[in-house]
């Protein structure tokens, strides 16, 4: 295996404290708040995961929502109401406010279908928009015993907090034949009319897997995979992911190549493969 493309793409982590490096970042206090809210959310969601009395409903868009989704978003809203009363909030379950200059963007449980079925791959997503930019992202997945976070111009990290983390960087894979792609499903691609192009692209790549939802984007940021894409997304699905991918050195756009989480779909990559994938799709 020595000298192979697979070994060249292997990620190595170095855990240490980054608190001093981040302390001067203008959004460091916001990061500390977001990490604290993630701690509270993790406690609530972990307690409700697998609960016999979990209440599940179907929303008008035919996606499920549970009492845990709503309670977690309310918990975060209550905390923000005390700590950041002037900021607006855009959440999946309890209201999508317009930006007042600073706006918190919340997905209380990304991966609710997994949560309902007992699959331990779900996370709370907390993003912060300041002006036109997403400046902070926290993704906390307690059943994976993992958390990812980033602040704009401060780097991307994996760990419980700034004192216990590793700095993330995307992979250096530049050839599709050595690259790994992750998707959530194929159904939305059929509706877009480019499922055949997607399958043809996957045939050119080393590996296709369906990690799905938040996880595939975090794996891109970690350098564990190289490309992730979804054809249908809301702002709350993507906002927290964007700074993590970008601060790790990657690229996050919609499927037309427009940067950020604003296009209703998402494509994340290590940057080296982004143009090639956009052309293929």
pLDDT in tens, 215-228: 999 999 999 999 99
pLDDT given at position 74: 97
Q: Do 34 and 163 fall within a single domain?
A: yes
Give 11 or 136, the one with higher predicted confidence: 136
Residue 194 covered by a domain: yes
Domain end among 167, 196, 231: 167
Cβ atoms of residues 75 and 68 within 8 Å = no
Q: Which domain holds residue 195?
A: 176-280
CA distance 135 to 31: 10
3-state secondary structure of 42: helix
CA distance 8 to 269: 17
24 is an annotated ligand-binding site residue: no
Considering the entire predicted model, what is its pTM?
Answer: 0.93
pLDDT given at position 1: 43
Q: Do 217 and 239 fall within a single domain?
A: yes
Query: What's the domain count of the chain?
Result: 2
105 is an annotated ligand-binding site residue: no
pLDDT given at position 63: 84
237 is an annotated ligand-binding site residue: yes
**8 band by pLDDT with thresholds 50, 70 and 90:** very low
Residue 212 covered by a domain: yes
| pLDDT 10s digits, 155-199 | 999 999 999 999 999 999 999 999 999 998 888 898 888 999 999
The arithmetic mean of pLDDT across residues 95-109, rounded, is: 95
Domain end among 105, 136, 167: 167
Cβ atoms of residues 228 and 217 within 8 Å = yes
126 is an annotated ligand-binding site residue: no
Alpha helices in 5-103 (DSSP H): 5-8, 19-22, 28-48, 67-83
Q: Do 159 and 193 fall within a single domain?
A: no
Residue 134 covered by a domain: yes
pLDDT given at position 61: 76
The arithmetic mean of pLDDT across residues 272-276, rounded, is: 97
Indicate the range of 3-7, 57-61, 216-220 predicted with least confidence.
Answer: 3-7
42 is an annotated ligand-binding site residue: no
Q: Do 55 and 103 fall within a single domain?
A: yes
CATH value at residue 276: 3.40.190.80
């Amino acid at each position: 295996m020595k000298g192979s493309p697979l070994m060249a793409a292997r990620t190595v982590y170095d855990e240490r404290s980054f608190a001093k490096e981040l302390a001067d970042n203008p959004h460091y206090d916001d990061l500390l708040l977001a990490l604290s809210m993630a701690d509270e959310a993790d406690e609530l969601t972990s307690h409700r995961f697998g609960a016999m009395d979990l209440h599940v409903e179907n929303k008008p868009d035919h996606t499920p929502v549970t009492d845990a989704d709503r309670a977690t978003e309310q918990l975060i809203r209550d905390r923000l109401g005390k700590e950041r009363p002037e900021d607006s909030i855009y959440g999946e379950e309890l209201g999508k406010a317009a930006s007042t200059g600073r706006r918190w963007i919340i997905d209380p449980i990304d991966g609710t279908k997994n949560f309902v079925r007992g699959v331990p791959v779900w996370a709370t997503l907390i993003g912060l928009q300041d002006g036109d930019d997403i400046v902070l992202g926290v993704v906390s997945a307690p059943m994976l015993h993992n958390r990812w976070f980033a602040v704009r111009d401060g780097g991307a990290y994996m760990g419980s907090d700034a004192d216990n983390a590793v700095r993330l960087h995307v992979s250096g894979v530049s050839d599709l034949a050595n690259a790994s792609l992750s998707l959530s499903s194929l159904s939305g691609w059929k509706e877009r009319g480019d499922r055949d192009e997607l399958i043809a692209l996957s045939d050119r790549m080393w590996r296709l897997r369906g990690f799905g939802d938040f996880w595939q984007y975090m794996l891109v940021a970690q350098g564990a995979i190289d490309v992730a894409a979804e054809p249908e997304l809301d702002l709350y699905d993507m906002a927290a992911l964007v700074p993590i991918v970008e601060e790790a050195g990657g690229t996050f756009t919609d499927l037309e190549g427009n940067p950020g989480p604003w296009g209703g779909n998402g494509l994340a990559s290590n940057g080296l493969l982004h143009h090639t994938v956009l052309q293929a799709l």
